[in-house]
């Protein structure tokens, strides 16, 4: 019996990966119609449940060879119906569906490729030796499904050996969709990919990469690389999906940053601290890194710890003069954002008047200051000056 909590939809609305609860094989019988010919474990899908979804398990022929997912009555069933037309069968066809059953609140997209591959394998076996339609193979099919269920849930892989045929099944881990790339965001290569040979990338990436330096935003990269803006966004989004690149907020001296709890890692992780000191240094030795010239961890922590509400990067630099300590404040911010040591507090202007101008229509509280700068092409100082002089505009920091 399954726990009630396992069947409930996650409270945050996001589906989580769950195990395969059952593997069932259904077929169309010339007399009884759609039925379950074999399932492991036995009677997991009851007759009442199956009768309510049987038209979707063995659907109209137009839907065969398609991944179908049915989510109802506490079960989420993924199938790949296959119809074989041949004169050796009654009514000249054999129709079956190999299905995985999971909890209704589980994420199941990772099983779709496995269901399809396994169904195609059973199709091959049926065409060669009538593996499915021969009643004498029922015990073998049950054992086969039991082994697949055990191995996929336990090891995420399964190997099927039937006669001279071997098939390998593996549950692939799909990443969540990458975020939509905005004009004002700043792409930065992740650690380990900085020195990758340009020839190993596609043509668009080769044109774009030279302009990605952790400072240029997407719109500027598209202009300098002379590549269509949407094409650059698609390229960067693809690199973010595969973990090659990450997106950072646009660096401006009028920005306000705030340190996070992750900042304490600098005092506990010596490797991270040394990496930070090398990354943020303003001047490098001509031959090799000189330990004497590396910024001190004290000065770095002092700068990070002073980042809080109401303190802009400009005022912080004027007060602490990081360049006197051989610290590049731009690299300091970049490193902090990459490792989650700090976060950017964005400004969202809201127009509270009655008759908005075209520019006021951007002040909805949903467009950040960076987005407005990129859309209007105006400098941050110009927009700040206009907002300060407009009594009908309120700014929210978050």
Closest by CA position to 370, among listed 355, 351, 353, 383 = 383
Reported in sequence order, the residue ranges of 211-290 that DSSP labels E, i.e. its strands, are 245-248, 256-259
355 within a domain of the structure (yes/no): yes
All residues at 6 or more sequence positions from 166 whose CB lies less than 8 Å from its CB, including other chains: 159, 160
- Domain ranges, residue 331: 256-345
Cα 217 to Cα 181, 212, 236, 383: the distances in Å are 10, 8, 11, 18
**pLDDT value, residue 369:** 83
Contact between 74 and 105 (Cβ < 8 Å): no
- 25 and 116 belong to one structural domain: yes
Residue with token string 């001047």: 283
User: What is the model's pLDDT at position 9?
Assistant: 45
Number of helical H runs and strand E runs in the chain: 14, 15
Q: Return the pLDDT at 7.
A: 37
Q: How far apart are alpha carbons 247 and 181 in whole angstroms? A: 8
Q: State whether 192 and 91 are in the same domain.
A: no
Residues 231, 243: one domain?
Answer: yes
Domain count, the chain: 4
Per-residue pLDDT of the chain (398 residues; tens, 9 = 90+): 333 333 334 444 456 788 999 999 999 988 888 999 999 999 899 999 999 999 999 999 899 999 999 998 989 999 999 999 999 988 889 999 999 999 988 888 899 999 999 999 999 989 988 889 888 888 989 999 999 999 999 999 998 887 777 889 998 877 777 888 988 889 998 877 777 777 778 888 889 988 998 888 898 999 999 999 999 999 999 899 888 899 998 888 888 999 999 999 999 999 999 999 998 998 755 555 555 578 999 999 999 999 998 899 999 999 999 999 999 999 999 999 999 999 999 889 999 888 888 888 888 888 888 888 878 878 878 888 888 888 888 888 88
Residues 384 and 323 in one domain: no
Could you tell me if residue 227 is inside a domain?
A: yes
Q: Does a structural domain hold residue 8?
A: no
Which of 207, 224, 248 terminates a domain? The answer is: 248
Q: Which of 139, 170, 201 is a domain's end point?
A: 170
Has residue 11 been placed in a domain? no
Same domain assignment for residues 202 and 166: no
Question: What is the Cα–Cα distance from 336 to 344, expressed in whole angstroms?
Answer: 10
Residue whose C-alpha is closest to residue 297's, from 268, 324, 317, 267: 267
Residue 30, number of CB atoms within 10 A of its CB: 10
In a domain, 176, yes or no: no
Q: Looking at the structure, do residues 352 and 332 belong to the same domain, yes or no?
A: no
51 and 84 housed in the same domain: yes
Is there a single domain that holds both residue 54 and residue 166? yes
Place of tokens 């306000």: 256
Out of 142, 170, 198, a domain closes at 170
Residue 180 within a domain: no
How confident is the model at residue 263, as a pLDDT?
A: 93
Claim to verify: residue 108 and residue 28 sit in the same structural domain = yes
Note whether 301 and 331 are same-domain residues. Answer: yes
Per-residue model confidence (pLDDT) at position 282 = 85
226 and 268 inside one domain: no
Query: In sequence order, which residues have a C-beta less than 8 Å from that of residue 252 and are 6 or more positions away?
Result: 313, 370, 380
* 68 within some domain: yes
Q: Is the domain of 192 the same as that of 318?
A: no
What is the predicted pLDDT for the residue at 291?
Answer: 53
Radius of gyration of the chain from its Cα atoms, rounded to whole angstroms: 30
Q: What is the pLDDT of residue 310?
A: 87
Domain assignment present for residue 175? The answer is no
Provide the sign of the torsion angle of the four alpha carbons 375, 376, 381, 385, taken in this order. Answer: negative
| CATH code of 72's domain | 3.30.450
């Amino acid at each position: 019996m399954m726990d009630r909590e396992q069947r409930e939809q996650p409270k945050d609305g996001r589906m989580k990966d769950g195990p395969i609860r059952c593997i069932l094989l259904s077929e169309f019988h010339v007399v009884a119609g759609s039925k379950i010919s074999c399932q492991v474990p036995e009677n997991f899908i009851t007759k009442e449940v199956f009768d309510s979804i049987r038209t979707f398990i063995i659907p109209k022929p137009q839907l065969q060879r398609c991944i179908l997912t049915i989510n109802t009555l506490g079960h989420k069933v993924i199938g790949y119906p296959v119809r074989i037309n041949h004169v050796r069968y009654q009514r000249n066809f054999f129709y079956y569906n190999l299905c995985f059953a999971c909890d209704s609140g589980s994420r199941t997209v990772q099983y779709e490729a496995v269901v399809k591959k396994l169904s195609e394998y059973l199709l091959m076996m049926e065409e060669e030796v009538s593996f499915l339609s021969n009643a004498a193979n029922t015990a073998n099919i049950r054992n086969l499904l039991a082994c697949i269920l055990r191995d996929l849930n336990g090891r995420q892989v399964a190997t099927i050996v039937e006669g001279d045929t071997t098939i390998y099944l593996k549950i692939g881990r799909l990443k969540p969709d990458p975020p939509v790339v905005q004009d004002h965001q700043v792409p930065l290569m992740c650690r380990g990919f900085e020195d990758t040979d340009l020839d190993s990338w596609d043509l668009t990436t080769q044109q774009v990469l030279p302009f990605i330096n952790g400072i240029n935003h997407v719109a500027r990269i598209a202009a300098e690389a002379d590549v269509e803006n949407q094409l650059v966004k698609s390229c960067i989004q693809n690199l973010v999906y595969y973990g090659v690149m990450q997106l950072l907020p646009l660096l401006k001296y009028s920005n306000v940053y705030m340190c996070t709890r992750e900042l304490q890692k600098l005092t506990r992780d010596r490797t991270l601290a040394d990496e930070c000191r090398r990354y943020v240094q303003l001047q490098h030795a001509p031959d090799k890194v000189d330990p004497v010239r590396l910024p001190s961890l004290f000065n770095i922590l002092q700068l990070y710890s002073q980042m809080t509400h109401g303190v802009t990067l400009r005022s912080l630099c004027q007060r602490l003069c990081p360049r006197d300590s051989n610290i590049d404040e731009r690299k300091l911010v970049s490193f902090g954002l990459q490792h989650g040591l700090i976060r950017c507090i964005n400004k969202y202007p809201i127009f509270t008047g009655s008759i908005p101008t075209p520019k006021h229509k951007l002040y909805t509280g949903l467009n950040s200051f960076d987005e407005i700068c990129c859309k209007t092409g105006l400098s941050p100082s110009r927009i700040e000056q206009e907002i300060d002089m407009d009594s009908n505009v309120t700014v929210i920091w978050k």
